[in-house]
Amino acid sequence: MQEHFVIVHRSSDPIQTDMLGALLRENGIAARVMGTRHGAAIGVGQNILQVHISVPQSQAGAATDFLEAFFEEDGAELIEQYIQHSDFAGDEDDDEARERAARWGDEDEDEDEADAPSRAAPAGSHNATAALASLLFLGGAHFYTRRPITGAMLALGQLAALLLALTTCLPRASAHTPTWLIALSPLLLMDLVGGQLAARARRRGEVLSRMRQGVLGAVFLAAAGVLLALATAALPGFEDERALSGATPAPCAAL
């Protein structure tokens, strides 16, 4: 059975896309470039047409990592090396291709931070950051799936939940249920569910921009807040405990 292909890159520049496809194939990824390359032949500008790169679903993660590294720091150098060691020049000579490579690098530097896809750090530093985050905060799945903005927002949510538990008297299920556990449970659930969805998306080659990561983090925090409100409404409060026990419990004594 033929393996399913997924799209990992879209562009209106066929020269750049062909080079990226060739570089991916040189790195062992079965990339194929699809789309219309000759817009002038059908009477339209090439800039309104898209060419895309698709790879087998099993290689989508590796292709995404390569493209992130390419656009992060090594793009112009990789294109220069490819021009020097191959016959590929499209319909342009080598000098013009090099000028285009330099222009792509300049465009990447000027790209708006909010709308640009999040660029991954090298694998070693990324893994170290994810490991450190998992030590400092409970969960941390979004750091491992390279959604650091969402992960950071959930981590801040954990800090806020702990402060809420320390400074207020959240209802308890019993005298043995700490309020910090009630406060953190919705956030841990959001991190678990969101991390699983992020891992699946990464295997498909999807990369979220920093803005979309922030929006997703805000959604998770709002959902966690709703779950916390529902949980505290359903659990007996301190007034209920005082009525049942006949004693006046100290505020937040079960922390």
**Mind listing the pLDDT tens digit for each residue in 117-140?**
444 444 445 556 666 666 667 767
Maximum Cα–Cα distance for the chain, whole Å? 89
DSSP 177: S
Tokens of 227: 């779950």
Q: Specify whether the CB–CB gap between 109 and 157 falls below 8 A.
A: no
Residue with tokens 């520049």: 13
- For residues 112 and 24, give the distance between their C-alpha atoms in angstroms, rounded to a whole number: 26
- One DSSP character per residue, 11-79 reads ES-HHHHHHHHHHHHHTT---EEEE---GGGGTS-GGGS-EEEEEEGGGHHHHHHHHHHIIIIIHHHHH
Burial class of residue 230 in the structure, from the number of CB atoms within 10 Å of its CB (0-12 exposed, 13-18 middle, 19+ buried): exposed
Query: What is the structure's pLDDT at 70?
Result: 78
213, pLDDT greater than 70: yes
Q: Specify whether the CB–CB gap between 147 and 116 falls below 8 A.
A: no
Higher pLDDT, 133 or 85: 133
Higher pLDDT, 165 or 128: 165
110, pLDDT greater than 70: no
154, pLDDT greater than 80: yes
Query: What is the structure's pLDDT at 63?
Result: 87
Rounded to the nearest 10 degrees, the angle between the axes of helix 60-69 and helix 14-26 is: 120
DSSP 112: -
Beta strands in the chain (DSSP E): 5-11, 32-35, 51-56
Percent of the chain surpassing pLDDT 70: 53
Q: What average pLDDT does the chain have?
A: 69
Across 22-36, 85-99, 141-155, 180-194, least confident range: 85-99
Residue type, 147: R
232, pLDDT greater than 50: yes
- For residues 202 and 64, give the distance between their C-alpha atoms in angstroms, rounded to a whole number: 8
Query: What is the structure's pLDDT at 140?
Result: 73
Q: C-alpha distances in angstroms, 7 versus 68, 199, 210, 227, 252? A: 14, 17, 20, 36, 52
Across 119-133, 193-207, 230-244, least confident range: 119-133
Sheet with 5-11: strands ordered across: 5-11, 51-56, 32-35
User: What confidence category does residue 203 fall into, taking pLDDT thresholds of 50, 70 and 90?
Assistant: low
Count of alpha carbons within 13 angstroms of residue 137, beta-carbon side:
25
Residue with tokens 């709002």: 222
Query: What is the structure's pLDDT at 84?
Result: 54
